Amino acid sequence: MISLQGVTKSYGLGDKQQKVLDNISFTFPYRQSVGILGPNGAGKSTLIRIIGGAEKPDKGRVIRTSRLSWPMGYSGGFQKTLTGRENARFVARIYGADYHEVEKNTIEFSELGKYFDRPLETYSAGMRSRFAMAVSYALDFEYYLVDEALETGDARLKEKFRQVFKERRMTSSVILVSHNEQTIRKNCDVAAVLFEGKLHFYENIDDAFLMYRKIIFAGRAA
């Protein structure tokens, strides 16, 4: 289970303090794909960081009893002086996964060939993001954290990863944040809107879009 309990987070100090997340309680449904919509600056990335434990909430807590991924495709956690294989093993170790299997899957997904045994600092930007995405898919999680800004790769690889993602969606849960309706429609079963620190949940995706559009237009009018 992944559950937020009274999560509150503010940024800034004194008078300029702004509540980004305001007493949010929410349990992410099992084996469902939840899309979280929010305009830019609504606190989507903060929410992802808090769910994943990269940041602590000011108040409340996050319960993680399921195998949760790090944000898919995020490569910041890798050590550049180490090879792709060594980095893949590191990830396998912290998740207690069989590292032969993780290595094998990473090689297959990333198509890095001999570069798999070279330090990450020798990779191009494209190769690095390919590697990060491949490692993310090399393990199986119960919950996948996705920040849409992280989608990368050429058209063919994108299609390949999209295919894998579709398969995983059937057996796992997904938490995806985005400001893009299309991304949510394609990948999610239910949706929530993050607005003014609150998370509004909708069983029906279209209802979420309705509210989201209202916010966007109200923002433009003002």
Partner 1 sequence: MATLTGQVERDSAFVIQCRVLYALILRDIKGRFGGRRLGFMWAVLEPCLFISLFVLMFQLIGRTSQAGIEVPLFFVTGITPFLMFRDLFGSIANETKVSSPLLMFPQVSKTDLIFASLIVNVLVSIAVFILLLTGCFAMGYTFIIDDPLRVLITLFLLVALGLGLGLVIGALTIRYEFVSSLSQALLGRPLFFTSGLFFTADILPPKVREIALYNPVLHGIESIRSAMFMSFESRYVDLTYVFFFAVALIAFGLMMLSFFDRQSR
Rounded distance between C-alpha atoms, residue 192 and residue 24, angstroms: 12
**Pair 2, 66: CB distance under 8 Å:** yes
Contact in structure between 69 and 174 (CB atoms under 8 Å): no
Tokens of 84: 């792709």
For residues 40-69, which are near partner 1 according to CB under 8 A? 49, 52-58, 64-69
Euclidean distance between CA atoms 86 and 31, whole angstroms: 31
CB of 205 to partner 1, least distance (A): 25
Summarize the chain as % helix, strand, coil (round to 5): 45, 25, 30
CB closer to partner 1 out of 38 and 71: 71
What would the x/- binding string for partner 1 be over residues 99 to 138, using CB under 8 A? --x--xx--x----------x-------------------
Question: What's the Rg (C-alpha) of the chain?
Answer: 18
In this structure, the number of other CB atoms found within 10 A of the CB of residue 153 comes to 18
Residue 135 CB, shortest distance to partner 1, in Å, is 11
> Which residue, 111 or 207, is less far from partner 1 as judged by CB?
111
Interaction between residue 33 and partner 1 (CB under 8 A):
no
Shortest Å distance, C-beta 108 to partner 1: 6
Smallest separation, CB 55 to partner 1 (Å): 8
Question: Whose Cβ is closer to partner 1: residue 120's or residue 193's?
Answer: 120
CA dihedral 126, 132, 137, 138 (to 10 degrees): 110
- Is residue 162 at the binding interface for partner 1, with CB under 8 A as the rule? no
Site for partner 1 in 7-26 (CB under 8 A): 11, 13
Nearer to partner 1, 152 or 181 (CB): 152
